[in-house]
Amino acid sequence: MDLKDRCFILMLQNGKQRMSRKAQKGVLIVSIILFVVSLFTPSLEELNFGTHREIMPGYLVLAWGWNAMIFFHPAWCANITWTIGNILFFKEKYRASFYLSILTSLLSLDSYAYPAKIYLGFYLWNVAVNIPLAVALAANRLKPKPGD
């Protein structure tokens, strides 16, 4: 480990290393890309009582997920709060975006209550909707620094 790596670790330990808004936007774009990829990968098995269960791609889960709210599974609402939170972040409404990212992460936890098999698309979606909270926590601030 060279001197540069040691300095970086020390800065992280002291909490002085912060992500710039440009870096945060880049990571949020990765989140959006992961979300889009999750739409076209297998996500969940369809719940039915027959012997054959269909594997649903992410776009079908997104299209039909609002039905789960009838059965008190609000995880689908994480898509709405995630979208609004990202829009607010790109409009520089950082505090509102941060609070929505917390709500999104809490809503996404309910998705694990789904009693069927889960596939790669589900995990990609879950990472995508939780990245904004991770970015906000890693940035360790809500107000922009001068020059951001």
* Percent of the chain surpassing pLDDT 90: 35
Residues 41-50: what's their mean pLDDT? 79
Query: pLDDT at position 30, please?
Result: 93
Q: What is the pTM of this model?
A: 0.76
Query: pLDDT at position 126, please?
Result: 93
DSSP of 58-72? HHHHHHHGGGGGGGT
The confidence band for 1, taking pLDDT boundaries of 50, 70 and 90, is low
Cα separation, 126 vs 34, whole angstroms = 9
Residues 31-40: what's their mean pLDDT? 95
Cα separation, 106 vs 111, whole angstroms = 10
Cα separation, 77 vs 104, whole angstroms = 8
Residues 15-27: what's their mean pLDDT? 73
Query: pLDDT at position 49, please?
Result: 66
* Sole residue written with tokens 């609000």: 74
The confidence band for 41, taking pLDDT boundaries of 50, 70 and 90, is very high
Q: Look up residue 55 and give its DSSP letter.
A: E
